[in-house]
Chains A and B, each alone.
Chain A
Amino acid sequence: MTYIAKPKLHHPGLKPNKLGFTHRDYEGSISTLCAGCGHDSISAALIQACYELSIEPYKVAKLSGIGCSSKTPDYFLGPAHGFNSVHGRMPSVLTGANLANRDLLYLGVSGDGDSASIGLGQFAHCVRRGVNMVYICENNGVYGLTKGQFSATADKGSRSKTAVNNDSPIDLVSLALVLGATFVARSFSGDKKQLVPILKAAMAHKGSAIIDVVSPCVQFNNNPQSTKSYDFVREHNEAVNRIDFIESKAEITADYEPGTVTMVRQHDGSMLKLSKLHPDYDATDRAKAMAYLQERHAAGEVVTGVLFVEEQADDLHDALGTVATPLNNLTERELCPGSAKLADLNADYR
């Protein structure tokens, strides 16, 4: 934990992105999490992804619940508004915020306790609705802030310093697939090379993008018996694909062997190049993805990568038929029917 404020000076050699922002413009306050916490690596990956995509930092809304993970929105994208809401209820607050202004990029940051225990219902329903967002579950299998109790994602039989978990785990990725999420991925906080392109693809995705990021808790769940430890994940990580995110304006060159790559075009025109690491894996087939996940999980592997993506997904605003103008920009002119209409209506009630 550090308490020294970051210097505001930028190194002159920092490379600006298309909007002229450097990496530093996407940072937030100094993290108060433990040294070595996986969550800080995820914040760094988010900063990297937003910088590379040249997103205007202030046009992002960061929402979270309660827990270590939910504190992190303070530690990236300082120029953006953040909302640290109540435990397990980030999805509903994010849904409401999204309804009010469809033009922002919504980052929902949550943890395994927040999403899989207290907030499982809200997690499920925001996925069902196709809220346009990037939902990141920083998954360490424990409650850090209350000192190390197991959460609902902890594997059966996993051990902490003082206890053994006997309950079956909830796998948010499998759940998201069943619930109709249109972008589902899993990654590892220790694998920035994989996580950054996944985040970029998720940000470009229209609809609910769910990313489960295994993020070891160095304080309470990084012991040799834990399935959420750095060592365990490194040893058992089975990536199904390598992800290259190609922005919509980039020229696409076909320099790959047929059958080894899946190209996915998303709503905004961007392309996702998924190089297959497992020849049979098809990230555009929901049913097969689900079956594959179950098989590999039974074999003790942690399957990572873009697990499923639906190319031209609709979101909640499409379903509701809302106007293009953000609802929070509408005025009396569009909203108030006026006294003449009311007079007609009064006549109907006589």
Chain B
Amino acid sequence: MQPISATNDFVVKFANVNGSGSASANELFARSILRMGVPVCSRNIFPSNIQGLPTWYEVRVSGEGWLGRRGETADFVVAMNPQTWNKDIDSIEPGGYLVFDSTKPLTTQKTRDDVHMLGVPLTRLSNTLEGTIPRERQLLKNVIYLGAVAQLLSMHLETVESLIAEQFAGKDKLIKLNYTAMKLGYDYAAEHLAGKCQLKVTKDDKVGDRIFIQGNDAAGLGAVFGGATVCAWYPITPSTSLAEAFTAHCKKFRVDPVTKKNNFAIVQAEDEIAAIGMVIGAGWNGARSFTATSGPGISLMQEFFGLAYFAEVPAVVFDIQRGGPSTGMPTRTQQSDILLAAYASHGDTKHPLLFPQDPGEAFEFAAQAFDLAERLQTPVFVMLDLDIGMNDWLCKPLQWDDKRKYDRGKIMTAEMLDAGKLFGRYLDVDGDAIPYRTLPATHPSKGAYFTRGSSRDRFAKYSEDGSVYVDNMQRLLRKFETAKTIVPAPVRRDAKEKTKYGAIYFGSTSPAMDEALAALEKDGVHLNTLRVRAFPFNEEVVEFINAHDQVFVVEQNRDAQLQKLIVNECAIDPARFISILHYDGTPITARFITGAIAERMKVTHKEAAE
């Protein structure tokens, strides 16, 4: 079998057992390639478990810069998990490579004639490391295979070494031990496997100043920059690392240098209901506050979303979506909370949603969400997913404009009250349907009101009068119209050639879509695209749909939730849409999108011809 030969364009997959300490070695591999100037994207596929179950780390090396997952197969697999051996060997492309621990000879394990078996005696080599205990040797086995892989892929050894030095900075003994382990693997491969692998990483300059960061980390940082002071949360995968990132960044940036006191308050609540209750209490009292959760948490918080919508209290919610329904697939990705979040709570409600496409936008939208929540006095949802939240993505460096001021929205001050400005908590004075609010303890005798979830008039006085209720509900609808003008606009991209076909997509589908569009274009299929970045949808979304005969809507859920939201909110004939749906819990791939659209286009052309 002809071996696969490729430079800077292949997929490497590490199959590990979770809890074996492989994550840092694998990440080191990805970062080493980035340091060599070659773009990578990485995806961690892990179980809802702490120790013993299978986990995979997949690195796509792409000199062309494609950052979506390529597909289900890999070109080069490091098989460290006997449980998944068969599945792993099956996932290799014909002509691909398998690195395995050859300390004991292969006996009953499945092999393939069309796969190049590259044995490295990892256990035996690790046993030669002097002065180590078994647990350390287990960890160092990961570094030994890292060395072997680096040699097989012709990687720059010094780059890997310098990253090890950075990782263990200040711990010279560990640096030395890791160097030794890596060299063991490297030398073994050089001596015994020379010339057996035709995949290569060569230095390039395609990475530029881009950074490699996880969406939850970036969003937590965005909350720091956006001025969040209160965070209440309850642990739930895949959102936990957002609250933890916020905590870590606050400890770095938000401790008063003189008093050593904290300019933030973070509470791990007893459940998601309490978490959102605290967020709403803090928002009511004028602090920028947020929670981070996932689908099950959003389900639990429903009643409070209705209160915040109706009583008009700012709140920011990060929903790191995972596979639903119910417990679903807690460690897999989906975009399946769109409708749940858009119409959260009983009665007539709707909420602004933001759809960041990568960690860079997660940072930006996180900060912006606090402005929007305070401007609109309502809960704002930042709709991340596990793929963005928990994987390292290559994206543009984060940016902040120091001239930027927080938009605290319409807050009536004591001075304004003393100047005789009329205060009605639910009174639309500016025509944008956003009323003024006062914060508790604003003024000794003016501006106090009673906040409640029951119907009230424009001056916050309890009322069960139908016309008073309708007046308020209509204003809330008009406020949603105002929201359309200030949420992030969609991004439109037109094909090189005129076309009557359009495609709408959002969130983490972005990198796979970029690649799919390029592939389709090569095949002569041209599509204009619109990347939706927020709900409510503004006029541009309607215009885009109206400008095309057929519009593909690419989503990572079963029920075409974004499409349904568009049909519902923009009163568009559902027949204009073709759903492209991927929802098996793995990130959507360019191959999937390209295949699905190409197939649909053929059918469409045939129908048109008949």
Contacts and interface: CB of A to CB of B under 8 A. Distances in A.
Interface of A: 56-59, 61, 63, 73-74, 78-86, 89, 91-101, 103-104, 121-122, 124-125, 129, 316-317, 320-324, 327-328, 330-332, 334-339, 341-343, 345-346, 349-350
Contacts of B269: 92, 125
Contacts of A322: 261-265
Contact of A61 (B225, B285, B452): B285
B277 A93 contact: yes
Interface in B201-255: 209-213, 221, 224-225, 227, 229-230, 232, 253-254
B449 interface: yes
Interface string B265-299: 11101110111111111111111010000000000
B281 A323 contact: no
Given A100-B282, A100-B286, A338-B402, A89 B265 contact: no
Given A328-B229, A335-B229, A338-B400, A96 B285 contact: yes
Nearest to A321: B262
A-B pairs with lowest CB-CB distance, top 6? A96-B281, A92-B277, A100-B287, A96-B278, A328-B286, A100-B285
Given A89-B304, A323-B261, A342-B400, A104 B440 contact: yes
Contact of B289 (A81, A82, A96): A96
B54 to A, nearest CB: 28
Contacts of B266: 320
Contacts of B34: 350
Given A100-B281, A339-B402, A350 B211 contact: yes
Given A96-B278, A339-B402, 16 more contacts: A81-B451, A85-B307, A86-B277, A93-B284, A96-B285, A99-B265, A100-B286, A101-B286, A124-B270, A320-B266, A330-B263, A336-B225, A336-B227, A342-B398, A349-B213, A350-B209
Given A84-B453, A322-B261, A95 B399 contact: no
18 contacts: A78-B448, A79-B448, A80-B448, A92-B273, A93-B280, A95-B267, A96-B279, A97-B285, A100-B286, A101-B441, A104-B441, A332-B406, A334-B254, A334-B263, A339-B399, A345-B398, A349-B213, A350-B35
B439 interface: yes
B553 to A, nearest CB: 33
Contact of A86 (B287, B307, B440): B307
B440 A61 contact: yes
B281 A92 contact: yes
Given A93-B277, A125-B270, A336-B225, A327 B264 contact: yes
B454 interface: yes
A19 to B, nearest CB: 10
A104 B462 CA distance: 25
Nearest to A128: B270
Contacts of B289: 96, 99-100
Nearest to B405: A332
Contact of A89 (B262, B274, B399): B274
A320 B260 CA distance: 12
Nearest to B221: A345
A343 B398 CA distance: 8
A246 B480 CA distance: 53
Nearest to A337: B253
A332 B269 CA distance: 27
Contacts of B230: 96, 99-100, 327
A327 B250 CA distance: 14
B303 to A, nearest CB: 5
A100 to B, nearest CB: 3
Contacts of A129: 267
B19 interface: no
Nearest to A25: B445
Given A101-B441, A322-B262, A349 B277 contact: no
A343 B402 CA distance: 12
Contacts of B259: 323-324
A84 B452 contact: yes
Given A93-B278, A320-B266, A328-B287, A101 B401 contact: no
Interface of B: 34-35, 209-213, 221, 224-225, 227, 229-230, 232, 253-254, 256, 259-267, 269-271, 273-287, 289, 303-304, 307, 397-402, 405-406, 438-445, 448-454, 462
B398 A320 contact: no
A58 B285 contact: no
Contact of A85 (B262, B441, B453): B453
B304 A79 contact: no
A114 to B, nearest CB: 13
Contacts of B274: 89, 91-92, 95, 121-122, 125
A96 B280 contact: yes
A79 B260 CA distance: 35
Nearest to B259: A323
Contacts of A95: 232, 267, 274, 277-278, 281
Contacts of A92: 232, 269, 273-278, 281
A63 B281 contact: yes
B402 to A, nearest CB: 5
B277 A100 contact: no
Contacts of A346: 209, 211, 397-398
A58 B400 contact: no
A316 B406 CA distance: 28
Which among A96, A122, A327, A336 has the highest number of chain B CB atoms within 10 Å? A96
B444 A56 contact: yes
A204 to B, nearest CB: 19
Nearest to B303: A86
Contacts of A338: 400, 402
A83 B284 contact: yes
Contacts of A330: 227, 229, 263
Contacts of B439: 81, 328
Nearest to B449: A81
A345 B400 CA distance: 12
Contacts of B438: 81
A99 B278 contact: yes
A326 B359 CA distance: 31
B285 A101 contact: yes
Contacts of A324: 259, 261
A87 to B, nearest CB: 8
Contact of A96 (B260, B277, B453): B277
Contacts of A342: 225, 398-400
B281 A94 contact: yes
Given A104-B440, A345-B221, A96 B253 contact: no
Contacts of B399: 339, 342
B211 A349 contact: yes
A151 B542 CA distance: 53
Contacts of A331: 406
B453 A86 contact: yes
B281 A97 contact: yes
Contacts of B275: 92
Nearest to A334: B263
B221 A96 contact: no
Contacts of B209: 346, 350
Contacts of A61: 285, 440-441
Contacts of A86: 277, 303-304, 307, 453
B577 to A, nearest CB: 37
B225 A99 contact: no
Given A92-B278, A96-B230, A335-B227, A81 B263 contact: no
A16 B209 CA distance: 68
A103 B285 CA distance: 11
Contacts of A343: 397
Contacts of A101: 285-287, 440-441
Contacts of B35: 350
B305 to A, nearest CB: 10
B215 to A, nearest CB: 12
Which among B273, B282, B453 has the highest number of chain A CB atoms within 10 Å? B282
Contacts of B283: 96, 100
